[in-house]
Amino acid sequence: MSSPRKTSPESVRRVACVGAGVIGGGWVAHFLGGGYDVTAWDPAPDAEARLRRLVDAAWPALEQLGLAPGASPDRLTVTGTLEEAVADAEFVQESAPEKLELKRELLAKLDAATPAGVVIASSTSGYPMTDMQTAAATPGRLVVGHPFNPPYLIPLVEVAGGEHTDPDAVDWLSRFYESAGKSVITMDREVPGFIANRLQEALWREALHMVANGEATVADIDRSITEGPGLRWAVMGPMLTFALAGGEGGMAHMLDHFGPSLKSPWTRLEAPELDKELYDAVVTGCDDAAAGRTVADLVGERDRGVIAVLRATGRLPGTGAA
């Protein structure tokens, strides 16, 4: 059993982010924009410079989303050790590489160094917490908090505890993320890949099969979503979208009408062999699609586009649908 939580989810002011790459850096930006004091630690020699560049690049998007009073990049402290990063933390977000043994050891170290009762979340994309919490002395406070890239812009975070996680740590984390401006799905069990990655993975496998078989180019695949279902999905999920495909008969008509085609061999759920040919085709296809735009150009383009969608669908402060 973990110690009682000292800080309520709504009164947290100091957050530690451990691992500060794409996702950890995105979390840092999110929490800075929310007016938190953030400490960060990452063992890479160039981590601090990389992190500060990421925060600077994200700041225009954070300004458009609406900064909390007092929010500033100056409230980021990059520490020399993991222990310093978490010493005064009221919440810890771990975003180290997706390697099971590394996560196990790191979560045990974080557990040993973090004040008692403080919840520690892992950004893992797919490991169940049950498998990651095995080496920790007080595993009850370890919870999965799975974000989407970039965490400062995409609202969703999926929360799930492991076999040895205290239910109150799961509740605390969900309330904390909500008060930090996230849209939270709290899962009552550990589903491999959680919810959204299961769905993304199915699409990703089919896309790779189509490239491998020469059925579609990388550009065709991207356009098929951005000019097609992707436009609807930003407004309604795949279920309600399909219910509308049933017209006035709704989902029942949709199932009666198209249910039999579920048995047609449209999809190949086995992953394709990621051989060199497929690897090169996907990488080259993405380079061609970028057409000379740098990663920073594409990040800016994506951020502006997502903000425009959030604004258009009433999901930014002050843009609530009438």
Ligand X SMILES: NC(=O)c1ccc[n+]([C@@H]2O[C@H](COP(=O)([O-])OP(=O)(O)OC[C@H]3O[C@@H](n4cnc5c(N)ncnc54)[C@H](O)[C@@H]3O)[C@@H](O)[C@H]2O)c1
Residues that bind ligand X (CB under 6 A): 18-24, 42-44, 47, 95-98, 102, 106, 123-125, 146-147, 149
Nearer to ligand X, 149 or 183 (CB): 149
User: Least CB distance from residue 131 to ligand X, whole Å?
Assistant: 13
C-alpha to C-alpha distance for 122 and 127, rounded to whole angstroms: 9
Nearer to ligand X, 96 or 173 (CB): 96
Backbone φ and ψ for 278, nearest 5 degrees, come out as -70, -45
The residue assigned the tokens 């984390």 is 173
Instruction: Name the amino acid, one letter, at 30.
Output: H
User: Least CB distance from residue 218 to ligand X, whole Å?
Assistant: 18
User: Least CB distance from residue 314 to ligand X, whole Å?
Assistant: 26
Q: Which residue is nearest to ligand X (CB)?
A: 21
Nearer to ligand X, 5 or 91 (CB): 91
**Distances, alpha carbon 291 to alpha carbons 78, 147, 222, in Å:** 35, 29, 14
User: Least CB distance from residue 106 to ligand X, whole Å?
Assistant: 5
User: Least CB distance from residue 28 to ligand X, whole Å?
Assistant: 11
The DSSP call for residue 272 is P
The residue assigned the tokens 């520690």 is 120
C-alpha to C-alpha distance for 141 and 146, rounded to whole angstroms: 16
Backbone φ and ψ for 255, nearest 5 degrees, come out as -70, -40
C-alpha to C-alpha distance for 281 and 288, rounded to whole angstroms: 10
Which token pair is 25?
Answer: 């850096």
Which token pair is 183?
Answer: 């849209």
User: Least CB distance from residue 302 to ligand X, whole Å?
Assistant: 12
Do residues 143 and 20 touch, judged by C-beta distance below 8 A? no
Nearer to ligand X, 7 or 95 (CB): 95
Nearer to ligand X, 34 or 145 (CB): 145
User: Least CB distance from residue 20 to ligand X, whole Å?
Assistant: 5
Q: Report strand pairing: 120-122 vs 142-146.
A: parallel
Nearer to ligand X, 7 or 221 (CB): 221
The burial class, CB within 10 Å (0-12 / 13-18 / 19+), for 27 is buried
- Say which residues have a Cβ less than 8 Å from residue 145's Cβ, sequence separation at least 6: 93, 121, 122, 123, 157, 158, 159, 173, 177
Nearer to ligand X, 43 or 230 (CB): 43
- Say which residues have a Cβ less than 8 Å from residue 41's Cβ, sequence separation at least 6: 16, 17, 18, 20, 78, 79, 80, 81, 82, 84, 85, 86
Nearer to ligand X, 7 or 114 (CB): 114
User: Least CB distance from residue 265 to ligand X, whole Å?
Assistant: 31
